[in-house]
Amino acid sequence: MGNLILVVNPGSTSTKFAIFNDENLVFEQSVSHSSDDLKGFTKIAEQFNFRKEIIVSELISRGVNLEDISAIVIPNCDPHNSEYLADHWKKTPLRYTFYL
């Protein structure tokens, strides 16, 4: 399926993500999070596993093989959270993560 790229934009009350095949958009999704969903988290970085499960579940339901993802792009990632997120992405089958 070419070079799949996962773009993730974790907002304060939603997670937006998209899959691109090279430069072509395959699909995009926005998932809203209630205050109940997010209570107990003090920083967005602490929500990593919560948001990752949502993303992975949606990718699988749409037939995306996680092994086919060549890169992950997270725009506007706080540099203080980069190491935390990179450590967690390394524990997945996804190979590359870029923080812009």
- Return the pLDDT at 76: 65
d(C-alpha 7, C-alpha 1), whole Å: 17
What the block records as the tokens of 25 is 């958009």
- Return the pLDDT at 46: 85
Torsion of CA 81, 96, 10, 33, to 10 degrees: -110
What the block records as the tokens of 30 is 């926005």
- Return the pLDDT at 94: 46
Q: What is the pTM of this model?
A: 0.75
- Parts of the chain with a pLDDT under 50: 93-100
Assigned CATH class of 4-19+26-32+44-99: alpha beta
Residue extents of the structural domains in the chain: 4-19+26-32+44-99
- Return the pLDDT at 43: 80
- Return the pLDDT at 83: 55
Query: Which amino acid appears at position 56 of this protein?
Result: V
Q: Could you give the maximum distance between any two Cα atoms of the chain, in Å?
A: 39
